[in-house]
Chains A and B, each alone.
Chain A
């Protein structure tokens, strides 16, 4: 069974640039959620994709957008990067959107915005 994988592991960008982060969900999982984790904080929910449709969004501006593909992998896109976007971006997959479903996290992409 393949776990959740994310790429790249580290990324450095400058303010105003755009970035795309990628996530491959665990085998058999059809749901992907993205979280932002600032240093010393808990993860904050960005949005979730279920069967290629957005299924809930947290308190993040529209410059944070995403996609889910037919194989259930996903992308997170961030436009017009700001310094405060520097964080660890975590992807989590699950078997579905039921309340008891566990989330399985990837190791994250560490984004630094200079």
Chain B
């Protein structure tokens, strides 16, 4: 079974600074997908970024980027130019691709990020 570990329960960062959230996972699969979801106080789950394991290039979405290290089974999220609106819980998640006995997402326990003015 796949597991996802987020070792930082809480983090804080000054506005406009850069912060990195860590995520490691355990799987015997070679092909899979990784995601970062954001959950602000509104409770809504919002997809931040996704990475396909077969792609070597790290995914980037505006101020959000990942450092995907497949051999190390590591998938960290970097937030640049942090903004107050980035304050939220962040969840790392793993998914096997379709047609491989697909089961939905496996989540880490989350990292609570506070952006300080």
Binding between chains A and B: no
Chain A contacts to B: CB under 8 angstroms: none
Chain B contacts to A: CB under 8 angstroms: none
